[in-house]
């Protein structure tokens, strides 16, 4: 059996949640109105995030990228990616945020990922236009749809931190969960491996694959 890893970006690869901070910083009025409604489940993430993003002028993308560049990553990702490369296990990043944010934070590590799925932004018009080929019912990036692109014969391993990773975590046979995701899985009696940084994940995978 082959293994494949699906990893969230925001709050998982980055130590802090960055995307919500970007929405608040670059579209303060609409974010102030819609983010509470999304938390209250009155507006879907798909519609709310799209409306906020599409209110941002195209000229501001470079500032968003600069804002994101300063965000620190959780420790151990280069070491985990080295280990996965030696083990021939693909590492797929699945983010509900912007591809350009993922790429600027990962920087030279991008080439060690197998693929990155995220929201693309078309800046050819006056304002952002969201381009998201794996849109779901309620989210701009349906992480389970992305997992389903890959052969069911693979053992799928999910890494995440929050509610946007819940469906992915419930689908995957092996899950690394921290923060709110761990609480949601506790409530559903879904087993997971607790983690704090990517060194923990490497250690757990070495144990898992050597037994």
* Residues forming the site for Mg ion (CB under 5 A): 8, 10-12, 161-162
Give least dist CB 174 to Mg ion, A: 18
Distance CA 113, CA 78 (A): 11
- Would you say 89 or 94 has its CB closer to Mg ion? 94
Contact (Cβ atoms closer than 8 angstroms) between residue 18 and residue 10: yes
- Would you say 24 or 127 has its CB closer to Mg ion? 24
Chain centroid to Cα 31, Å, comes to: 20
125 burial level (CB within 10 Å; 0-12, 13-18, 19+): exposed
- Residue showing the smallest CB distance to Mg ion in the complex: 11
Contact (Cβ atoms closer than 8 angstroms) between residue 73 and residue 13: yes
- Would you say 8 or 142 has its CB closer to Mg ion? 8
Give least dist CB 5 to Mg ion, A: 15
Give least dist CB 200 to Mg ion, A: 17
The structure tokens listed for 167 are 């469906």
- Would you say 123 or 138 has its CB closer to Mg ion? 138
177 burial level (CB within 10 Å; 0-12, 13-18, 19+): buried
Give least dist CB 2 to Mg ion, A: 26
Give least dist CB 154 to Mg ion, A: 22
Task: Kindly give, in sequence order, each residue whose CB lies less than 8 Å from that of residue 103, ignoring residues fewer than 6 positions away.
Answer: 110, 116
- Would you say 57 or 132 has its CB closer to Mg ion? 132
């Amino acid at each position: 059996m082959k293994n494949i890893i699906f990893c969230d970006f925001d709050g998982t690869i980055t130590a802090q949640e960055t995307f919500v901070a970007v929405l608040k910083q670059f579209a303060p009025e609409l974010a102030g109105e819609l983010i509470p409604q999304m938390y209250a489940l009155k507006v879907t993430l798909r519609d709310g995030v799209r409306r906020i993003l599409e209110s941002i002028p195209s000229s501001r993308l470079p500032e968003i990228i600069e804002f994101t560049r300063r965000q620190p990553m959780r420790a151990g990702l280069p070491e985990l990616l080295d280990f996965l490369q030696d083990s021939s296990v693909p590492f797929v990043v699945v983010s509900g945020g912007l591809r350009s944010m993922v790429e600027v934070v990962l920087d030279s590590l991008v080439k060690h990922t197998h693929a990155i799925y995220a929201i693309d932004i078309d800046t050819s018009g006056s304002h952002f236009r969201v381009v998201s080929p794996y849109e779901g019912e309620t989210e701009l990036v349906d992480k389970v749809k992305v997992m389903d692109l890959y052969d069911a014969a693979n053992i799928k391993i999910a890494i995440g931190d929050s509610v946007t990773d819940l469906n992915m975590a419930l689908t995957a046979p092996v899950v690394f969960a921290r923060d709110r995701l761990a609480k949601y899985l506790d409530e559903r009696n879904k087993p997971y491996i607790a983690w704090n940084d990517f060194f923990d994940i490497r250690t757990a995978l070495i144990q898992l694959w050597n037994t």
